[in-house]
């Protein structure tokens, strides 16, 4: 039978051969593209109106100063250990960052990406007895308690925690280490607002902003959930009434961020001028603008901000505790921390890390962001979202 299969599939085999040929052709084209990548990253940033893009990029990644060290340490490595870092899909570092870690420590880092933060945490809990990785990055304060309750992590207190604001260190037992943070905030498109710029959450329920606000279902969207938490933190038990007023004022609900931002918000050609997004969205609008602009077209309603902190933790069951600890230290180092903002559009946890110019100029974090403890969030998540569904979706 095998024989007959081979013979019949001959024509189809030629399809496959053709595919492979095209594949090779594409891959050659692809590698051509990669070679020029360093040049183009700057060109992506430069039309964005970021002053002195060249210097800011090099400073931020710090690749250049590290370069000589790579060569030296490489020769010194007798053997390398490999450890695995599990992350969500949004985790990206610049080329050369982990290589410099390998060069100084002889530890190679393999990265495995698993969906979004929720998928990452759920899959880590499922695979707890036989973890896929040694270190996990990407659990945030809205999921933290769930990970801690499941005893996913072993404690480690990095010496570099001294550089991290105490407000970000949400686990007193140091089972997780804060790596970055950001604010989920309501954004508005400055020149398309029907009235004055909103300053407090209550402005969203005023008649001026009727039918202007679009936000996300907290059951299906992480920024949507963060905004719900912001209202709960600000209004306490009054949050239900606030949402009722939002509904009466014509709030629109979508399943996910892209759907809201590009589907209903002005940015994507929609009609609504107010949306739930991030504090870093205005700088992103500048950096990735097309055609280039000098000022951010959108701004942030600081009263609405909820602080999200992302952590890394050493997964229980790893055989490479020492290497994992070194990786955590590296992730808190200024080199790694300064690479974070422009790749992931979040802020470095290490207060000594310099921010890229665009973040300094166009991005601002809330002085007094809303927060809730991970315990409160986990304990009430279901009740809150179910109540939210009743009020908003009816």
Partner 1 sequence: MALAAVPAAFVAVFFAYPVATLLVRGIGLDPGRLLDVITGSRFLKVIWFTTWQAGLSTLLAGTLAVPLTWAIANRQFTGRRLARVLVTVPFVLPTVVVAGSFIGLMDRFGLDQGTIRLRHTVWAVLLAHAFFNIAVFVRSVGGFWTQIDRRPEDAARTLGASPWLAFREVTLPRLRPSIVAATSVVFLFSFTSFAVILLLGGPRRSSIETEIYRYAVTRSDISTAAALSIVQMVAVVSLVVANGWLQRRVAGRQGLVADRAVPAQTRRQRTRLVTMLAGTALLLGLPLAVLVERSLASGGGYSFANYQALGERVRLLPISAADALVNSLAFAVVAAGIALVIGGMASLAIVHGTRSVSRVLDLGMLLPLGTSAVTLGFGVLISLDRGVLDLRGSWWIVPITQSLIAIPFVVRGVVPVLRAIDPALREVAATLGAAPARVRREIDLRIGARALATGVGFAFAISLGEFGATSFVGRRSDLLTVPLAIQRLLSTPGDLLRGQAMALSVILMLVTAVVVFVGDRLHPKAGGML
Considering only residues 163 to 222 of the shown chain, the ones binding partner 1 according to CB under 8 A are 217, 219-220
Please say which residue, 93 or 327, places its beta carbon nearer to partner 1. Answer: 93
Positions 302 through 361 that interact with partner 1 (CB under 8 A):
342-345
Q: Which of 173, 191, 237, 290 binds partner 1 (CB under 8 A)?
A: 290
Please say which residue, 221 or 333, places its beta carbon nearer to partner 1. Answer: 221
Q: Should residue 126 be labelled a site residue for partner 1 when binding is judged by CB under 8 A?
A: yes
Q: Which of 76, 78, 79, 130 binds partner 1 (CB under 8 A)?
A: 130
Q: Should residue 241 be labelled a site residue for partner 1 when binding is judged by CB under 8 A?
A: no
Per-position x/- string for 136-165, each x denoting binding to partner 1 as judged by CB under 8 A, each - no binding: ----------x-------------------
CB neighbour list of residue 145: distance below 8 Å, 6 or more residues apart: 374, 375, 377, 378, 379
The residue assigned the tokens 């020029």 is 36
Which burial class, exposed, middle or buried, applies to 77 when counting CB atoms under 10 A from its CB (0-12, 13-18, 19+)?
Answer: middle
Positions 33 through 92 that interact with partner 1 (CB under 8 A):
33-34, 36-37, 40-41, 44, 84, 86-87, 89-92
- Give me the least distance between CB of 157 and partner 1, in Å please: 27
Q: Should residue 1 be labelled a site residue for partner 1 when binding is judged by CB under 8 A?
A: yes
Q: State how far the Cα of 203 lies from the Cα of 180, in Å rounded to an integer.
A: 30
Q: State how far the Cα of 74 lies from the Cα of 71, in Å rounded to an integer.
A: 5
* DSSP code string of 310-328: EEEEEETT-S-HHHHHHHH
Q: Should residue 27 be labelled a site residue for partner 1 when binding is judged by CB under 8 A?
A: yes
Please say which residue, 160 or 267, places its beta carbon nearer to partner 1. Answer: 267
Q: Should residue 391 be labelled a site residue for partner 1 when binding is judged by CB under 8 A?
A: no
- Give me the least distance between CB of 319 and partner 1, in Å please: 15
Three-state secondary-structure class, residue 175: coil
Q: For the chain, report the end-to-end CA distance as a whole number of angstroms.
A: 60
Query: Among 62-70, 169-177, 269-277, 358-366, which window interacts with partner 1 (CB under 8 A)?
Result: 269-277
Structure tokens that stand for 244 in this block: 């009722």
CB neighbour list of residue 237: distance below 8 Å, 6 or more residues apart: none
Query: Among 24-32, 73-81, 160-168, 321-329, which window interacts with partner 1 (CB under 8 A)?
Result: 24-32
CB neighbour list of residue 10: distance below 8 Å, 6 or more residues apart: none
Query: Among 170-178, 238-246, 280-288, 315-323, which window interacts with partner 1 (CB under 8 A)?
Result: 280-288
Which burial class, exposed, middle or buried, applies to 207 when counting CB atoms under 10 A from its CB (0-12, 13-18, 19+)?
Answer: exposed
Peptide bond into 291 cis (omega under 30): yes
Please say which residue, 206 or 263, places its beta carbon nearer to partner 1. Answer: 263
């Amino acid at each position: 039978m095998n024989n007959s299969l081979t013979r019949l599939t001959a024509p189809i085999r030629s399809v496959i051969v053709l595919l492979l040929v095209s594949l090779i052709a594409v891959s050659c084209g692809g590698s051509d593209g990669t070679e020029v990548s360093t040049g183009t990253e700057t060109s992506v940033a430069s039309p964005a109106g970021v002053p002195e893009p060249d210097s800011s990029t090099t400073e931020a990644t710090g690749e250049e100063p590290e370069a000589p060290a790579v060569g030296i340490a490489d020769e010194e490595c007798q053997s390398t250990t490999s450890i695995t870092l599990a992350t969500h899909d949004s985790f990206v570092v610049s080329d050369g960052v982990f290589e410099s870690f390998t060069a100084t420590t002889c530890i190679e880092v393999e990265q495995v990406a698993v969906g979004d933060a929720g998928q990452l945490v759920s899959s880590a809990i499922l695979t707890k007895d036989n973890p896929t990785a040694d270190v996990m990055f990407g659990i945030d304060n809205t999921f933290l308690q769930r990970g801690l309750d499941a005893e996913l992590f072993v404690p480690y207190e990095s010496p570099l925690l001294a550089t991290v604001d105490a407000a970000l260190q949400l686990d007193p037992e140091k089972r997780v280490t804060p790596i970055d943070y950001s604010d989920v905030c309501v954004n508005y498109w400055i020149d398309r607002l029907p009235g004055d710029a909103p300053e407090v959450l209550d402005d969203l329920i005023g008649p001026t902003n009727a039918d202007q606000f679009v936000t996300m279902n907290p059951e299906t969207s992480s920024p949507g959930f963060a905004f719900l938490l912001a209202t709960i933190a600000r209004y306490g038990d009054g949050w239900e009434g606030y949402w009722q007023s939002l509904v009466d004022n014509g709030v629109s609900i979508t399943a996910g961020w892209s759907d809201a931002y590009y589907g209903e918000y002005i940015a994507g050609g929609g009609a609504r001028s107010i949306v739930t997004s991030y504090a870093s969205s205005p700088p992103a609008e500048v950096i990735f603008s097309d055609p280039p602009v000098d000022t951010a077209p959108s701004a942030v309603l600081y009263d609405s901000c909820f602080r999200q902190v992302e952590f890394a933790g050493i997964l229980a069951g790893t055989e490479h505790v020492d290497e994992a600890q070194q990786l955590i230290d590296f992730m808190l180092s200024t080199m790694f921390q300064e690479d974070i903002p422009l790749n992931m559009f979040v802020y470095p946890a290490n207060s000594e890390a310099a921010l890229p110019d665009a973040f300094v100029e166009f991005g601002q974090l809330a002085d007094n962001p809303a927060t809730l403890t991970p315990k409160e969030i986990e304990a009430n998540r279901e009740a809150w979202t179910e109540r939210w569904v009743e009020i908003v979706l009816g």
